[in-house]
Amino acid sequence: MEQSAFRIGVVTVGLVALVAAGCATGGKTASMSPAETVSERQRLMKLHGGLWKDIQDKAKVNNFEGIAVSAEALALNAPRIPAMFPEGSMTDKSKAKPEIWQKFPEFEKAAMTLKSESEKLRDAAKANDASRVQTVMKDFGRNACGSCHTPFRVPPPQQR
Burial class (CB in 10 A: 0-12, 13-18, 19+), 110: buried
Total domain count, the chain: 1
List the CATH number of the domain containing 58: 1.20.120.10
Q: What angle do CA 160, 97, 56 make, to 5 degrees?
A: 60
Beta-ladder partners of 94: none
Confidence category of residue 156, pLDDT binned at 50, 70, 90: confident
The CA distance from 137 to 89, in Å, is 32
Is the pLDDT assigned to residue 6 strictly greater than 50? no
Contact 126, 69 (CB under 8 A): no
Confidence category of residue 24, pLDDT binned at 50, 70, 90: very low
Whether 86 is in a domain gets the answer yes
Whether 8 is in a domain gets the answer yes
Torsion, Cα 136 142 147 149, to 10 degrees, reads 130
The alpha-carbon radius of gyration of the chain (Å, integer) is: 16
Burial class (CB in 10 A: 0-12, 13-18, 19+), 143: middle
Whether 157 is in a domain gets the answer no
Q: Whole domain around residue 10: which residue ranges?
A: 2-152
Side chain identity at residue 23, one-letter code: C
Is the pLDDT assigned to residue 59 strictly greater than 90? yes
Whether 159 is in a domain gets the answer no
Whether 71 is in a domain gets the answer yes
